[in-house]
Amino acid sequence: MNTATTTTVTLNEGYFSRRNWLDWLFAAIVIVGGLFALQRYAAYMDGYEKGILLGAIPVMVWLGWFWRPLRILMLVVAALALMAIGLYQQDGVGSLERAEAVFGLKYFLSSQSAILWMSVIFFMSTLFYWIGMFSRGEGTTMSLLGSRLAWVAVAMALIGTMVRWYESYLLGPDVGHIPVSNLYEVFVMFCWMTALFYLYYEQQYGTRALGGFVMLVVSAAVGFLLWYTVVRGAHEIQPLVPALQSWWMKLHVPANFIG
């Protein structure tokens, strides 16, 4: 008697076939936004900068697909940064003086206001994480609040960074620079990048046990940032010294933190 044996082979889905319509919508928004920025600001960019912009488009799409919470973060940061840029416009021309005259800029969306909000919210996040660590009944809720506040602080840091980039060009084309060029800007980047790496860890492993310790490091950096702002006036945008004007420096600094 013959016995027939059937073997079923299941093939893994391809990377692109696993994408849903939200993934493709996000990709379309990033591509359209990147190409619009290239078309609108190409006159202010050299070939090197255009290459970075074009290279950033697939990287941002991949990051949004790799970790989906980043999609919301990117879209919120882009929307509020563009809103801030719009508030700076007066008769079709950007004016830095509006930072003190427009309510939304003065208290929320100018670079310094956004970074100050980042500082306060990181302190609050640290506090809630530590309360959650020692609370018995409401510990989970307190830690969750700490996590949510960390996300808000990261968003405010990125909004402040993007708006500061625009503000630097309002001072003059020779002053404008990507805001990862001096100690003040690097510490802002350290704060949001450290928090973001931790938030990824938190989601991947489903625990907030390290939140208080990581946010304590971030809060220490924020404390230095505030001291540096008050004592040295480091928040003021100044022309870069020649040693910091190289675009290799702009790649070197973020790569050090990521590495």
Taking only the tens place, the pLDDT of each residue in 115-160 is 999 999 999 999 999 999 988 777 889 999 999 999 999 999 999 9
Residue 107 maps to a domain: yes
Residue 125 maps to a domain: yes
| Nearest alpha-carbon partner for 255 in 193, 201, 183 | 193
Residue 190 maps to a domain: yes
Positions in the chain whose pLDDT score sits under 70: 1-12, 242-259
Counts of helices then strands in the chain (DSSP H, E): 9, 2
Residue 58 maps to a domain: no
| Nearest alpha-carbon partner for 94 in 157, 177, 173, 179 | 173
pLDDT at 76: 97
Residue 204 maps to a domain: yes
pLDDT at 22: 94
Specify the amino acid at residue 66.
F
pLDDT at 7: 63
Residue 76 maps to a domain: no
Residue 16 maps to a domain: no
- Domains contained in the chain, number: 1
Residue 123 maps to a domain: yes
Task: Give per-residue pLDDT as tens, 89-114.
Answer: 998 888 999 999 999 999 999 999 99
Which domain covers residue 185, as residue numbers? 95-258
